[in-house]
Structure 1
Amino acid sequence: MAELLSQDRIDEALKQLPDWQQEEVDGQSTIVRTVKAQSFPSGIDLVTKVAAEAEAANHHPDIDIRWRNVTFRLSTHSEGGLTELDLSLARAIDRLAQQ
């Protein structure tokens, strides 16, 4: 079971994840990033790669695809907010988006 992060820990982590912003959705803290892909197929390819990472971690993001814009929203729903699982997946998404 993952523990919710303190706001200080979230703020510290977001300094290392500059493309991510914290938002509240339905009373739950999330982090969000939108990646602008080179093309629609490359956006879908990114989603496929993220899906493999998410499945391996058993931690799945909410994903919204709008043409070349792919938005990832992370939160540990079972805990009601952000945990280290979200930060780890955010780092993986950043790595995959750079490829």
Structure 2
Amino acid sequence: MSRARLTEDEITAGLEGLPDWSRDGDSLVRTAEAPDFPAGIRAVTAVAEAAESMDHHPDIDIRWRTLRFVLSTHSAGGLTALDLALAARIDAILRTESAR
């Protein structure tokens, strides 16, 4: 997957399919509530595994049941296709954990 920086139009189009994410400068941000603390930790573990397989790692903040994810491709100086792809994987992981 390309680590080339996305254009503004590509970012806007990508965010259309990621309604729970917002843009904050050169980052994508999502906050989610887990059903309970163990579910939040399971979600973070699953995100860590996905991120490792993609060699693309988010910033993650855990506050009891509240999870905050921040994505950016620092080496590209902004957002890339990797950020959009990882955001979609995080969404899928959070849906799975919420359904348990």
TM value normalised by structure 1: 0.93
Residue equivalent to 2:23: 22
SS of residue matched to 2:52: helix
Residue equivalent to 1:57: 54
Number of residue pairs aligned between Structure 1 and Structure 2: 95
Is residue 36 of structure 1 aligned with residue 37 of structure 2? no
Rounded Cα–Cα distance in structure 1 between residues aligned with 2:74 and 2:32: 22
Structure 1: segments with no counterpart, 5+ residues: none
Structure 2: segments with no counterpart, 5+ residues: none
State the AA in 2 paired with 1:12: A
Aligned counterparts, 1:1-99, within 5 A: 2-24=3-25, 29-99=26-96
Deviations 1:50-88 (A, max 9, x none): 000000000000000111000000000111100000000
Alpha-carbon distance, 1:2 to partner: 1.1
Q: Which has the higher contact order (CA 8 A, sep 6+)?
A: 2
State the AA in 1 paired with 2:32: V
State the AA in 2 paired with 1:11: T
SS of residue matched to 1:35: strand
TM value normalised by structure 2: 0.92
Identity of aligned residues (%): 52
Structure 1 or 2: larger strand share? 1
